[in-house]
């Protein structure tokens, strides 16, 4: 809590500031942070970092964390996004203490604008959007005053009331703060704080036809909720003086403090909401939940766990400046989470038929195989073994190179959890030369767990009984972008930037029968292939579809 809460050793820039404020008694209320998404799209991995920063900061000091929807633009917002954001935050493990809506504060924000007008700090401006831009100036040249800047308080009050009452069409007039057109900070050059929009709002209907701009509404909303620290990404740093100006002019007691953290970008990943929208609307991907996207919906559908994402953002820590993180670090966090809890199963993605000629034709047996080598408490399962099996095509070579230890003619390998297998004959398509079948023999003395040690083999391969196999489609995902960046300009297309091999679909793969009970979002380790998740969008009772979450190979090493 504020004065009597836990003693926290400062770990970052934000921690140091909060600790100093607690010691100075800056606030008579508890620490309170918020996450303020616009309900005009889905959360992504960058959102997770922002949520984590605000949530953990509040909890570290025994404070409160709010979810507040910044729903002050009726043209873009939708209840669909509201529900999705709430669901994603709960799935991630960041439940808000309170949920608020900016639109609920419409009357208070309006009254704040009226207060500024009465103080001579705001005026109604009739300049067109193009003229407002021209009058604003540039980074090197000051702006110039609007010809409407010196309207009287009475006239501004009348015009603003008429704006609220719907007298004027969309875009006809705006309300601007009266600050300083020569300020080196363009955000302080009489920014627009209200505009006219005749459109139905998803919550307030047609009650309002004027809506506040984010930079004006945000500090007021923070003050209403008792926010102490408005933690936001670094691009809002230049907006901080306006945030503080609004609170100061409204005589806000113990005003919230805006503090910024660095934006986290990930190699090979599109984290711009605008760019993600382009990919979705352009049908380059399979919707907002496409497993190649960094949206939380896409990551969840692909098979990422909330624990892995939380560990990833925790590992990054607090960054004061924007940074680029290798995506291998996110994949490493996932492997670390899954390797100890995802059951292992055998799946043959590119099948090659094997007939064991010395195994009885009408016989099968059930062999016990461990479910997870990392966690013995997950127990064992029974897997059927029979005369006809399937192995991976890559696990056999007629003319192997040096160092190849898997199945070849005359060579033995161990079948996972079963027996030694020796290839004796290759059956081919006479016309094409394609290998159709391997004729093999097994040694019944070599059953796993029997203690046989008369000879050794150098490789163990996985397999699936043909009679018992379950067919499934498997989606193999790679990076969506060829390189680490997407288009730099609005008029550039995506075709030149997208990896054409970002999705490979393998039809009729063969899985061991234990997968028959698999449910959407269940996760497994396919032996030697990687981690996979049952796709909740396309899997049906008749046909499983699995997404490869990540291969087994880990390319990221934590810095010591």
The two three-digit tokens of residue 278, written as one number = 């382009």
Q: Rounding to the nearest 10 degrees, give the CA dihedral for residues 122, 123, 124, 129.
A: -80
Work out the number of other CB atoms within 10 angstroms of the CB of residue 47. Answer: 22
Of 38, 307, 437, 521, which is the active-site residue? 38
Burial class (CB in 10 A: 0-12, 13-18, 19+), 453: exposed
DSSP state of 409: B
Q: How far apart (Å, rounded) are the C-alpha atoms in residues 213 and 194? A: 6
Element (H, E) at 368: strand 364-370
Please name the residue that has the structure tokens 């004065």.
3
The two three-digit tokens of residue 364, written as one number = 């099968």
Please name the residue that has the structure tokens 């352009």.
282
Question: Is 155 among the catalytic positions?
Answer: no
Q: How far apart (Å, rounded) are the C-alpha atoms in residues 302 and 291? A: 5
Q: Rounding to the nearest 10 degrees, give the CA dihedral for residues 454, 459, 465, 466.
A: -120
Q: Rounding to the nearest 10 degrees, give the CA dihedral for residues 490, 496, 497, 498.
A: 120
The two three-digit tokens of residue 479, written as one number = 């990076």
Work out the number of other CB atoms within 10 angstroms of the CB of residue 356. Answer: 21
524 SS3 class: strand
Of 173, 273, 297, 301, which is the active-site residue? 273
Buried b (16+ CB within 10 A) or exposed e, 79-112: eebbebbbebbeebebebeeebbbbebbeebbeb
Residues 196, 172: contact at Cβ < 8 Å? Answer: yes
Question: Is 150 among the catalytic positions?
Answer: no
Q: Rounding to the nearest 10 degrees, give the CA dihedral for residues 300, 301, 304, 309.
A: -20
Please count the helices (runs of H) and the strands (runs of E) in the chain: 12, 27
Of 173, 259, 263, 302, which is the active-site residue? 263
Question: Is 38 among the catalytic positions?
Answer: yes
380 SS3 class: strand
State the catalytic residues.
38, 263, 273
């Amino acid at each position: 809590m504020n004065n009597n809460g836990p003693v926290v050793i400062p770990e970052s820039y934000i921690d140091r500031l909060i600790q100093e404020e607690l010691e100075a008694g800056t606030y008579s209320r508890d620490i309170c942070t918020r996450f303020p998404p616009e309900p005009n799209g889905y959360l992504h991995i960058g959102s997770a970092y922002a949520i984590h920063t605000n949530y953990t900061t509040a909890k570290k000091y025994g404070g409160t964390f709010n979810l507040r929807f910044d729903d002050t633009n009726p043209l873009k917002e939708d209840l669909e996004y509201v529900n999705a954001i709430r669901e994603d935050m709960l799935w991630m493990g960041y439940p808000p203490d309170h949920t608020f809506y900016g639109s609920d504060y419409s009357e208070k924000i309006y009254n704040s604008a009226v207060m500024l007008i009465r103080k001579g700090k705001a005026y109604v401006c009739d300049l067109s959007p193009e003229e407002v831009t021209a009058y604003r100036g540039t980074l090197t040249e000051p702006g110039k005053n609007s010809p409407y800047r010196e309207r009287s308080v009475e006239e501004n009050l009348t015009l603003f009331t008429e704006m609220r009452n719907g007298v004027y069409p969309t875009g006809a007039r705006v309300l601007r703060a009266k600050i300083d057109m020569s300020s080196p900070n363009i955000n302080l050059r009489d920014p627009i704080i209200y505009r006219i929009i005749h459109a139905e709002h998803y919550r307030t209907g047609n009650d309002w036809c004027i809506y506040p701009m984010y930079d004006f509404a945000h500090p007021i909303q923070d003050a209403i909720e008792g926010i102490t620290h408005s933690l936001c990404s670094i691009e809002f740093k230049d907006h901080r003086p306006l945030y503080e100006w609004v609170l100061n002019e409204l005589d806000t007691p113990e005003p919230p403090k805006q503090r910024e953290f660095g934006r986290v970008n990930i190699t090979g990943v599109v984290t711009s909401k605008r760019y993600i929208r382009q990919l979705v609307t352009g049908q380059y991907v399979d919707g907002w939940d496409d497993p190649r996207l960094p949206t939380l919906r896409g990551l969840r559908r692909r098979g990422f766990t909330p624990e892995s994402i939380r560990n990833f953002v925790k590992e990054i820590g607090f960054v004061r400046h924007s940074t680029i993180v290798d995506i291998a670090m996110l994949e490493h966090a996932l492997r670390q989470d899954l390797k100890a809890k995802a059951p292992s199963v055998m799946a043959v993605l590119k099948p090659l038929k094997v007939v064991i000629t010395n195994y009885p034709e009408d016989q099968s047996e059930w062999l016990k195989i461990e479910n997870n080598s990392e966690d013995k408490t997950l127990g064992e399962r029974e897997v059927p073994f029979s005369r006809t099996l399937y192995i991976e095509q890559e696990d056999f070579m007629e003319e192997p190179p040096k160092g190849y230890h898997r199945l070849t003619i005359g060579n033995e390998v161990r079948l996972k959890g079963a027996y030694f297998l020796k290839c004796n004959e290759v059956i081919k398509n006479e016309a094409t030369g394609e290998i159709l079948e391997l004729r093999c023999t097994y040694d019944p003395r070599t059953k796993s767990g029997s203690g046989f040690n008369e000879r050794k083999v150098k490789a163990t391969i996985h397999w699936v009984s043909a009679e018992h196999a379950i067919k499934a489609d498997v989606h193999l995902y790679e990076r969506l972008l060829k390189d680490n960046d997407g288009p730099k300009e609005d008029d550039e297309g995506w075709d030149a930037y997208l990896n054409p091999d970002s999705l490979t679909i393998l039809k009729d793969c063969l899985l061991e029968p234990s997968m028959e009970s698999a449910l959407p979002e269940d996760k497994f380790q396919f032996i030697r292939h990687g981690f996979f998740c049952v796709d909740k969008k396309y899997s049906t009772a008749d046909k499983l579809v699995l997404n490869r979450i990540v291969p087994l190979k880990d390319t990221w090493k934590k810095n010591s």
